[in-house]
Chains A and B, each alone.
Chain A
Amino acid sequence: DQQVKQNSPSLSVQEGRISILNCDYTNSMFDYFLWYKKYPAEGPTFLISISSIKDKNEDGRFTVFLNKSAKHLSLHIVPSQPGDSAVYFCAASARNSGGSNYKLTFGKGTLLTVNP
């Protein structure tokens, strides 16, 4: 059972335009969400995160939106640059009974291609 889903395997946008990457989750216990970027042969790089008590978090060109009622989050990249071309993973964590989040559950990723 896939608890974090990224339904678009790939997305192609023009340089300078907005990229919108989507993610859905099913586990209502998830209380923290993260986005990672991954280049081939490298480990994932942390981009931005959001707590379930917020609905928006912004960091430079990256903004994450969270819609808890729809169990949906999205990553907006504005403006998109060719260097943003990579696989983007959505991840979620649930606070366990001990009060700490130890495990990230990942989506399968979306390949973003930004064309010059």
Chain B
Amino acid sequence: KAGVTQTPRYLIKTRGQQVTLSCSPISGHRSVSWYQQTPGQGLQFLFEYFSETQRNKGNFPGRFSGRQFSNSRSEMNVSTLELGDSALYLCASSSQGNHEQYFGPGTRLTVT
């Protein structure tokens, strides 16, 4: 089975721009979660989607949003980028009823 894939792997954006990151879960997994990893804050939960519905959201400003499509693929969007948004953005998928989440390789976002 193919693992979680994320595109792009690396991205450089300018402050004020917006960005969209994509995630394809493991086949059969319908839950997709997003996390932000920074050196100072570690891994922090952004939001989770299941069957195209956001079920849980972390403590991030409204500039961070996401969606999930009928094929379980997910996107997250960050608008009005700030320097502090520079981070590794990780997507994870899991199957219904299972606790274990399986992560993709991440998208390294650099905001200049």
A residues near B (Cβ < 8 Å) are: 32, 34, 36, 41-46, 49, 89, 91, 93, 96, 98, 100-109
Contact = CB atoms under 8 A, between A and B. Distances in A.
B56 A108 contact: no
Chain A contact residues, majority secondary structure: loop
B103 A44 contact: yes
B33 A46 contact: no
B99 A93 contact: yes
Contacts of B100: 34, 46, 49
Contact of B99 (A34, A42, A43, A44): A34
Interface residues of B, number: 27
Interface of B: 4, 6, 31, 33, 35, 42-45, 48, 50, 55-56, 58, 90, 92, 96-97, 99-106, 108
Chain B contact residues, majority secondary structure: strand
Contact of B42 (A42, A45, A93, A107): A107
B58 to A, nearest CB: 7
Given A43-B106, A45-B103, A103 B48 contact: yes
A101 B99 contact: yes
Contacts of A91: 43
The interface centre, meaning the residue of B48, B99, B100 with most chain A CB atoms within 10 A of its CB, is: B99
Nearest to A43: B103
A116 B96 CA distance: 41
